[in-house]
Amino acid sequence: MTYPSIIDAIGNTPLVELGRVSDILGLEGRLLAKLDYLNPGFSKKDRAAKATIEAARASGALAEGQVVVELTSGNMGTGLAIVCGVLGHPFVAVMSKGNSEERARMMRSLGAKVVLVPQAAGSKPGEVSGADLALVEAEAQRITAERGAFRADQFERPENTAAHEHGTAPEIWEQSGGAVTAFCDFVGSGGTLGGCARYFATKGVRCYAVEPDMAEHPIQGGGYDMPDLTHLKGVSLAGRETVSGKDAADHARMLARAEGIFGGYSAGANLAAAIRLLQGPEKGGAVAFVVCDSGLKYLSTDLWS
């Protein structure tokens, strides 16, 4: 098959069973990893970027050649840089300096303008806090108004959720032959978990939120202590699993060394939570999770040191 553009290559990523990890730990049940780090922008956020821009163009909310602005930890920004570049929209990514350097470099390489916002007083490099995110949001709002731009707004726009309700979750269900009994995902904007939970509710699949165990953590792209996430409103969850930064890193390394899957911190957090679920309430079942982004985006961090 030949695609008309790279945008059409977003989605339909592989689902891989982690038999080696299961054997190492003696787990009863199956671990199923959805490899969204194999999307063109190396993350699951490519799906939301595509859905958001296509919907805005179709509705007229985004005019031909209009600037797009978004707050990002790097993944949504990379997806938007790809989609906007192909469709002819200048893109401005607004990101905290606390995020890894690779993300900014990748967005710039794809043609985006990257605005780096200094961290809040007392914040630690490599660990983006809610206070840091508030500063980024303020700058994104300023630039949007100044440029007369379209704000992609991954925390509010329904296309973020829809991309996973109509893409990620049905793919997992079909690829597993309907064997999935539980799903878990690290909460950033909440779009993946919210969308998947809406679809999986119709299939009797239990869904769990994965969150950091403390305010300061190295798991970039989430854990901002935002209890009122739009994408999770009205969603019924079976529970929440908290994961430490150390556990996230250890399990990302396990994923790489045992299975050859090179994911980032959030992938490690998801694996840690999925293992815990198989050892507890989901014992004997099939737990699916998303490998959210690539380990290549963390080479400058402690993850691979």
Residue range 1-57, pLDDT digits in tens? 899 999 999 999 999 999 999 999 999 999 999 999 999 999 999 999 999 999 999
By annotation, the residues acting in catalysis are 45, 266
Dist. CA 218–CA 249, nearest whole Å: 9
Instruction: Write out pLDDT tens, residues 95-137.
Output: 999 888 888 999 999 999 999 999 999 888 877 888 888 999 9
| Domains, the chain, with CATH or none | 6-39+157-304 (3.40.50.1100), 45-151 (3.40.50.1100)
Rounded to two decimals, the pTM is 0.94
Query: What is the predicted pLDDT for the residue at 126?
Result: 77
Instruction: Write out pLDDT tens, residues 149-183.
Output: 999 999 999 999 999 999 999 999 999 999 999 99
Residue 127 CB coordination number (10 Å) = 20
Nearest to 294, CA basis, from 273, 254, 265, 258: 265
What is the torsional sign of CA 92, 94, 98, 100? negative
pLDDT of 215 above 80: no
